[in-house]
Each structure stands twice: as C-alpha cells, then as structure tokens.
C-alpha cells in the first residue's frame, strides 16, 4: 500500500478544516538544509501546481491562500505504525515501510475476503473511509508491489506469473522506483536511462560500479529475481485464534466471554501440537481503526483455557482501570501464543510428588496472575548471590522469568546459636541517622532516626564489612555493623560508614535494616 | 413481635451463623488458657489473621511476628512457599523483606515470592488472589486505613482464605494502637509490641540482644471464646529452628556480654587499657 498524502491527511484528520479553509490548498513544510521547503502537498495543492521540494516563499507567491503546517516526521512514523497495526486485521504479517508505505503479506489470507482484488479494494475503501488517500498493488514480491503502487497504473500481478513476464512489468517502471540519491539519478538521466528496463537490459558489472550494490539489490528485488523478506512490525504468532463480528463489541463482559472461547480454540491447537504457551498476545481491533494490544508472559507452558482467560482478564482489568475506551466497539478479536514450549500432558498421578507439583503449578499460576495485574517486574523472587555486601547478597528478579544460574552463596551468618546476624527487613537505601558514640569505633549510645531518639539497651558488634576492592569505587568505605536493641525493644541493624581517622574524619551512621 | 421475642430471635440467628461459619461443627467451647495459645498458633487452621503494632515503632516487630507465624505454618504443613505482598509505602517505612535475613531465620530463599503493590486496593486484591489460589502462605503489609480495609474487604479475604484453605496474615502498620477498635471478619487479631530488652545490671556493660521476642495481646480469636483476656500482654519468644512459639518470662533467658572488638585501631586499644 502506498499512502501518498500521509502527512497532509494526518493534519486533515486531526482538525477538520472550516468550509472556506477547505477550499484552500494545503501543504506541509520543513527546514531542509537551511531553506524552508514543502515536504508534502494535498490533492488541491498538487492541482494548483505545487509540489514537494518547492520553497515555501515560492509556493506562497503562487498561491496566497495556501495553508501551511510544519512537518512532524515522528508523528508521521507513529501514525504509519498505527496504520500497520490496523492492517493486521487483514493478515497477521504487516510491516510499515517508512516514510509512507505499508507491506501486507496476504498469502493465504486473501480468500477470507473474497479474493486478492476484493481484499485490495476493501483495504483501500477502509483507509479512504478513515481519511487516507491510499493506492495499493498486489505482486509476488514486496518490492515490486510497492513500486507498482507508487509508480504504475497496474494494480494486480497474479501469483503464477513467470519470471520473464515479471521482468517485463518491472521494465515499465521509472528509474525513480530505485530510490537513488539525486546526483545518481541525474547521471542516469543524462545517460538517457529512463526506465528500469533500460537498466535491466544492460550488463551488470558497470552498473554496479556506478550505482552501488544496494541499488542493484533493489533492482533485483523489484524484478523479483531475488526474494526479499518482509520484516513485520510484530512477529506473527505461531498459534492463533480469531473472531470477527459484524458489529463492534462494547461491553467488557462480552469481550471477556469472547476471549474465553478464543482461549478454548487456542488450547485445542496447542494440545494438538503438544506445546504450551509461554507468551500470550491478545489484539483488539476497534471499528474506527484503533488497535489495543494485551501481552502477558507465563512462568510455565500453559494450555488451560480457564487459566489463560483469567490471566487475560487481569490484564484487561488493568486496561479498564486506565480507561479501556471501547468507543464504537471492537469488531475483530485475536488471541495468539507468541512463544510456545513443549508441554506434555499431565500424568494423572495422585502420589505425593503429584501433590507437590500441583502446589508449584498453582504458585506459578498465581505468580502469572499477580504479574499480569501488578506488572511482571513487581513480582519477584530472591536469589542469593556470592557477595558479602548486604544489599548485593540477594538479587530480586522477576519471578516469571527463568531462574539465573545459581551462585555459590555462603550460608547466612549467625551471631551465635539461634541469633541470626542479618535483619528480616532491609531498607532499599540505608537511612542516615544522628548517632552519639562514646568511642570512635564503639556502638552508638543513642541515635536519632526519623526524629525519634532511641537509647541503646543492648548491642552486639561490630561486624566489619569491607567494600569489594575489585569492583567498588575509590571512595567506598568500610562499614561496621552493629546489632542494636533500644530501650523500647526495637531492634536495628546500624552501620558506621568509614573508619574513624583512617578513611573519614567524621564517619556517618546509617540504619540499614530492622529485625 | 415483642421486644424480648426479637432479641431471642437475634440470639438464635447468631448461633445459626456461628454454626454455619464453623462448617457444621459443634458450637465452639471456651478453651483453657494454655491449650488456647497452642490452638491459636495451630497451623492446621487456615483463615485470615491480623497483626497490628501497639505503637508505630513496633511495626517491624509485628512484621517479624507475622513472618514467624507464617514460617510455623509452612514448616508443619508444607505448601508452595510464602507470598509476601509489600506495599510501596510499607517498604518505604519498614524496608523490604530481606532474603538473607529470612534465610537465617529458617526460610529457604526459593520459597519466597515477593509481590510489590502501589496502593492498598492492589494489596488487598493481590492478597485475595493469593489466598484463593491456596498455593502458599500469604503475608501482606498494607498501609490501608479503616476506609480501605473495612468489614466487606476483610470478609472477602476471610472467605478467600477459607476457599483456598490457606493462611493469610495481614499486617496493618498504619493502624498502630487501633487493634481494639478495628472491626473485621478476621479469624484472629494480634496486637504486637517489641519484646522488652534484656535488663542491665548497675555498672555492668550493656548485654547482648536476645532472641526474637514479642509482647503479644490476643484481641480476637474466633472459636476460642473466653480463652484470652484481651487486656493481658504476654511475652513470647520464637524459636526458628523448631518453628515454635514459647511463652517465656524474659528474665529466664541467658545473658551474655559483648566481647571487645579485636581489630580496633592501636590508639583506641591503648586508651581502653589505660582505663
């Protein structure tokens, strides 16, 4: 698909012009190499003789009524991406071809819409209804299709066309289809080469030397001598279930119910292949073109429709909290398994091992469900690490991910029989306190934390923890940890940063944890 | 209906409800005191329990108690592990559960799942989900006030705990000191204060801290009517090797005195000797 007026259409869609404005030509400009030039013009401006590349001042002089807006390439690219998303309602493989093209792989999908020509008409009609001028072409190769859409009247090249016929079609295209830089194009123009046919008929080696290998690769792609892959915006899922409705769904219960039945279909597919889903993706296509994505990962291969539906419901609930805008309703719902893993049918074993597995499976499901709602980065597991720095001794990683390689971690230290030397709770960042100590290396007599004065009643320490000299920054200081109990019975894990006189003239005190 | 008739009817309905909630079991009988404490910490019973600190400074002790209770349940009835739900506000005030410390206290790190939440609503939702799944013992610490954690919310949690046959411990640090006033559907409610520090003899150096100790008041215990005086504080100690609570008068604990550090700078050591 070729969207020749993407930039101007974007503005026209955003703010509908008033009737007298609508009569005026419209163009988008940008600063190119220090000069203000038009980058895109709408149909009316084109008819009035304006063209991209023209200086803004000239254009104004020609058409005083010209309306202008500054170009925003990023917004254009975003819009193109969204249109590509929307196009996935026709086929799972859709890619954006910046700045203004779209590639749809319709092999195997066209018959659903009544043939290739009908599909093309449908896509064009729907894009036009949304305010985009679009011209499409169907061809066996993506590059040829794009070139036809841009530069040719020919709309349809059937699948079974022979190589000679394809070359003949390509030969009719202008040199511009190669997308060369202006200097090279001018050189070819001077040499009298106007169409691709002129190039195709010539020996390759001198052409390659002049134009570069890239241009020749493009030429080959257009002539379908070489197959070019489409790099889709989203990988098409391996397993997929889909439902289309004549009218959009607006009620959340309906959407949930549809998801549930889609999950059932998907699970049948998965079961037939003996796999389970590790990543799920649900896509909702709204009647007016908006596309909503829901993605969720699972911590074990899943093949149970109920669990899948429940997971998706959590994600949907999060969306709903932020305001799921059903608008005119969703008319296409699709559920896919993005990544799958082998998953054998569970054995109907009721032994003890089975029960333990059941516990683990339930915990995994719970982790997924919590992760779906809270975000996978908020559901964590603790992995001991080989480090004696307290905050590095445990790494918190997302629980749904695979476990990292087990580090050789020492057993936790004890002060003496039955008294752990590590607190139950650790602050993410040690909190500074004001402490009064009797001796420079002794425990504090009293300390003030969060404006509350704590008098020391019992203590044990110090436990000296030096920085890791092989990785710590220069100014890292030794810490002396004290296990401290105040008069009220509160238990704290304090440390003094820096050795008095040796590392720091006035060591600071922190509270790092609570028992 | 006469006035006395309606009150009789209410008594009758209350009994019916109590019988229904006990799952058809005979009406609860008052238990003796000693039996009460062991039954209170009986891991076989699922349900929702609440731990409230007596003062704001006791929040960490209340969390420690909740963890000890969860550990006891886990030790005697193995399950998937402990799901610890920590709200951001609670993490800011009290820190996050620390894997090494929990490991030292008897919880293998692979059994811990930590879920972090933003708001009390999320915390309560996560706790309900976790309880319903019955996959693990659930500890949740929420900065909820009475508005967010009301009778309906606690009822949901209690039902979820019963459905999943699961033990849930809800920690409400913000409701410090409000244990007597709170109305909820929880199975039991504890008011926790930090255990008293070891006494120090006149002129003696400061003693070593003792094992993890709590002062505890049982404010509510469903099914153990009359076994506890909600005004009485008890001192308990948690033995994490056996995963048991002991009621222990504090003076019976052994006392030790910290040793002087051996690697002090020479100057400081000299000063000690001079004294």
Average pLDDT of A147-156? 81
Is residue B97 predicted with pLDDT exceeding 70?
yes
Who's near A413: CB < 8 A, 6+ residues apart? Answer: A420, A421, A422, A463, B104
Distance (Å, whole) CA A216 – CA A205: 10
For chain A, what is the mean pLDDT? Answer: 82
| Total beta-carbon pairs less than 8 A apart between chain A and chain B | 214
Render pLDDT for A110-129 as a digit per residue (tens, 0 to 9).
777 878 888 888 888 888 88
Q: Which CATH class is domain A240-371?
A: alpha beta
Under the banding of pLDDT at 50, 70 and 90, the label for residue B34 is low
Q: Which residue, chain included where needed, has tokens 């070729």?
A: A2
Render pLDDT for A230-271 as a digit per residue (tens, 0 to 9).
777 666 777 888 888 888 888 888 888 888 899 898 888 888
Average pLDDT of B157-162? 91
Q: Which residues of B touch A501 (CB under 8 A)?
A: 265, 267
Distance (Å, whole) CA B40 – CA A294: 45
CB distance B95–A426 less than 8 Å? yes
Render pLDDT for A454-469 as a digit per residue (tens, 0 to 9).
998 888 878 899 888 8
Collapsing DSSP to helix, strand or coil, B118 comes out as coil
Under the banding of pLDDT at 50, 70 and 90, the label for residue B64 is very high
Strand A479-486, strand B96-97: pairing: unpaired
CB distance A458–B198 less than 8 Å? yes
Render pLDDT for A321-352 as a digit per residue (tens, 0 to 9).
666 667 778 888 888 887 787 877 665 544 44
Among A381, A424, A458, the residue with its CB nearest the CB of B105 is A424
**Residue A485, strand partner residues:** A458, A491
Distance (Å, whole) CA A261 – CA B183: 42
CB distance A418–B213 less than 8 Å? no
CB distance A513–B96 less than 8 Å? no
**Residue B133, strand partner residues:** none
Q: For residues B242 and B211, is the Cβ–Cβ distance under 8 A?
A: no
Crossing angle, helix A305-322 and helix A252-273, to 10 degrees? Answer: 140
Write out the H or E segment, with its range, that includes residue A101.
strand A101-104
Domain map (residue ranges) of chain B: 1-30, 32-197+207-251
- The segment with the largest mean pLDDT, out of A150-159, B46-55, B193-202, is B46-55
pLDDT at A16 (0 to 100): 66
Find the closest chain A residue to B102 by CA distance.
A424
Among A360, A384, A416, the residue with its CB nearest the CB of B109 is A384
- The segment with the largest mean pLDDT, out of A48-52, A167-171, B78-82, B138-142, is B138-142
Render pLDDT for A291-323 as a digit per residue (tens, 0 to 9).
888 888 777 788 888 888 888 888 887 777 666
Residue A414 backbone dihedrals phi, psi, to 5 degrees: -120, 145
Q: Which residues of B touch A487 (CB under 8 A)?
A: 197
Q: For residues A425 and B59, is the Cβ–Cβ distance under 8 A?
A: no
* For residue A99, cis peptide bond before it (omega within 30 degrees of 0): yes
Crossing angle, helix A204-211 and helix A182-190, to 10 degrees? Answer: 140
What does the angle CA A361 – CA B163 – CA A271 come to, to the nearest 5 degrees? 35
CB distance B126–A373 less than 8 Å? yes
Q: Which residue, chain included where needed, has tokens 């076994």?
A: B227
Distance (Å, whole) CA A496 – CA A511: 9
Render pLDDT for A392-418 as a digit per residue (tens, 0 to 9).
888 888 887 766 666 666 777 777 777
Residue A439 or residue B259, greater confidence:
A439
* For residue A462, cis peptide bond before it (omega within 30 degrees of 0): yes
Please state, in angstroms and as integers, the Cα–Cα distance from residue B137 to each residue in A291, A303, B64, B128, following that order: 40, 26, 15, 12
A370-374, B12-16, B203-207, range with the lowest pLDDT: B12-16
CB distance B95–A390 less than 8 Å? no
Domain map (residue ranges) of chain A: 240-371, 379-410, 414-514
Among A384, A396, A422, the residue with its CB nearest the CB of B114 is A396
Q: Which residues of B touch A428 (CB under 8 A)?
A: 91, 95-96
Other C-beta atoms closer than 10 Å to the C-beta of A343 total 18
Find the closest chain B residue to A355 by CA distance.
B79
Average pLDDT of B234-239? 84
Ramachandran category for residue A448: left, alpha or beta (phi over 0 → left; psi -120 to 50 → alpha): beta
Task: Check if the interface score ipTM surpasses 0.85.
Answer: no
A140-149, A353-362, A424-433, B91-100, range with the lowest pLDDT: A353-362
Architecture of domain B32-197+207-251: 3-Layer(aba) Sandwich (3.40)
CB distance B98–A422 less than 8 Å? yes
Average pLDDT of A58-82? 84
Under the banding of pLDDT at 50, 70 and 90, the label for residue B62 is very high
pLDDT at B25 (0 to 100): 47
Q: Which residues of B touch A414 (CB under 8 A)?
A: 104
Minimal C-alpha gap between A258 and chain B (Å): 23
Burial of B35 (0-12, 13-18, 19+ CB in 10 A): exposed
CB distance A491–B112 less than 8 Å? no
Q: Which residue, chain included where needed, has tokens 């060591």?
A: A507
Exposure letters A125-153 (e unless 16+ CB within 10 A, then b): ebbeeeebbbbbbbbbbbbbbbbbbbbbe
What does the angle CA A336 – CA A338 – CA A344 come to, to the nearest 5 degrees? 95
pLDDT at B130 (0 to 100): 92
Write out the H or E segment, with its range, that includes residue A461.
strand A452-465
Residue A484 backbone dihedrals phi, psi, to 5 degrees: -130, 140
Average pLDDT of A28-38? 82
């Amino acid at each position: 698909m070729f969207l020749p007026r993407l930039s101007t259409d974007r503005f026209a869609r955003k703010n509908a012009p008033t009737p007298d404005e609508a009569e005026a030509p419209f163009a988008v400009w940008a600063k190119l190499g220090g000069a203000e030039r038009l980058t895109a013009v709408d149909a009316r401006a084109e008819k009035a003789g304006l063209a991209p590349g023209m200086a803004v001042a000239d254009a104004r002089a020609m058409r005083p009524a010209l309306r202008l807006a500054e170009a925003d390439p990023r917004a254009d690219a975003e819009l193109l991406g969204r249109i590509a998303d929307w196009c996935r309602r026709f086929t799972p493989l859709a890619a954006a071809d910046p700045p203004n093209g779209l590639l749809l792989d319709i092999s195997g999908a066209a018959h659903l819409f009544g043939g290739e020509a009908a599909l093309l008409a449908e896509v064009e009609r729907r894009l036009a209804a949304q305010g985009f001028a679009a011209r499409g072409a169907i061809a066996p190769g993506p590059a040829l299709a794009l070139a036809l859409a841009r530069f040719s009247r020919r709309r349809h090249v059937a699948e079974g066309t022979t190589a000679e016929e394809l070359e003949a079609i390509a030969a009719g295209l202008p040199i511009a289809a190669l997308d060369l830089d202006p200097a090279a194009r001018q050189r070819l123009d001077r040499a009298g080469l106007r169409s691709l046919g002129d190039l195709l008929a010539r020996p390759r080696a001198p052409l390659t030397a002049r134009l570069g290998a890239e241009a020749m690769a493009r030429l080959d792609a257009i002539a379908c001598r070489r197959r070019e892959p489409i790099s889709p915006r989203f990988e098409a899922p391996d397993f997929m279930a889909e439902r289309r409705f004549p009218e959009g769904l607006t009620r959340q219960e309906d959407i949930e119910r549809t998801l549930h039945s889609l999950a059932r279909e998907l699970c049948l597919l998965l079961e037939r292949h003996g796999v389970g889903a590790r990543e799920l993706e649900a896509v909702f296509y709204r009647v007016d073109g908006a596309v909503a994505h829901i993605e969720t990962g699972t911590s074990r291969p899943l093949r149970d429709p109920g669990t899948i539906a429940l997971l998706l419901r959590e994600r949907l609930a999060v969306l709903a909290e932020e305001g799921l805008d059903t608008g005119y309703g969703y008319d296409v719902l699709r559920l896919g398994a993005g990544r799958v893993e082998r998953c054998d049918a569970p054995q109907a074993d009721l032994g003890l091992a089975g029960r333990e597995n059941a516990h683990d499976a339930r915990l995994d499901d719970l982790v997924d469900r919590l992760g779906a709602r809270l975000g996978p980065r908020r559901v964590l597991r603790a992995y001991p690490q080989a480090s004696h720095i307290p905050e590095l001794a445990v790494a918190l990683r997302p629980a749904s991910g695979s476990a990292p390689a087990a580090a050789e971690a020492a057993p936790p230290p004890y002060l003496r029989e039955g008294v752990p030397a590590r607190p139950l709770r650790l602050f993410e960042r040690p909190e500074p306190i004001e402490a009064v100590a009797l001796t420079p290396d002794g425990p504090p007599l009293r300390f003030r934390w969060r404006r509350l004065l704590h008098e020391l009643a019992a203590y044990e320490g110090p436990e000296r923890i030096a920085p890791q000299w092989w990785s710590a920054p220069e100014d890292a200081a030794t810490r002396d940890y004290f296990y401290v109990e105040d008069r009220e019975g509160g238990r704290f894990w304090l440390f003094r940063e820096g050795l008095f006189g040796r590392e720091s003239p006035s060591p600071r005190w922190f509270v790092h944890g609570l028992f | 209906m006469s006035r006395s008739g309606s009150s009789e009817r209410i008594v009758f309905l209350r009994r019916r409800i109590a019988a229904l909630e006990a799952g058809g079991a005979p009406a609860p009988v008052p238990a003796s005191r000693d039996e009460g404490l062991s039954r209170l910490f009986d891991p076989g019973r699922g349900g929702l329990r609440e731990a409230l600190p007596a003062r704001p400074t006791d929040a960490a002790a209340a969390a420690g108690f909740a963890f000890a209770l969860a550990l006891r349940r886990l030790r005697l009835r193995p399950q998937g592990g402990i799901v610890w739900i920590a709200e951001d506000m609670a993490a800011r005030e009290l820190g996050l559960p620390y894997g090494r410390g929990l490991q030292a206290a008897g919880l293998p790190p692979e059994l811990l799942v930590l879920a972090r939440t933003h708001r009390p609503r999320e915390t309560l939702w996560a706790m309900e989900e976790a309880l319903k799944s019955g996959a693990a013992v659930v500890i949740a610490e929420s900065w909820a006030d009475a508005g967010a954690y009301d009778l309906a919310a606690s009822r949901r949690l209690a039902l979820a705990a019963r459905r999943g046959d699961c033990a849930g411990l809800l920690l409400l640090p913000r409701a410090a000191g409000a244990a007597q006033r709170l109305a909820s559907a929880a199975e039991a409610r504890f008011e926790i204060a930090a255990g008293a520090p070891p006494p120090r003899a006149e002129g003696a150096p400061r003693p070593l801290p003792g094992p993890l100790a709590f002062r505890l008041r049982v404010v509510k215990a469903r099914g153990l009517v009359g076994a506890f005086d909600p005004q009485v504080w008890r001192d308990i100690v948690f033995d994490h090797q056996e995963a048991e609570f002991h009621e222990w008068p504090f003076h019976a604990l052994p006392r030790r005195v910290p040793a002087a550090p051996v690697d002090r700078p020479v100057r400081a050591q000299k000063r000690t000797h001079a004294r």
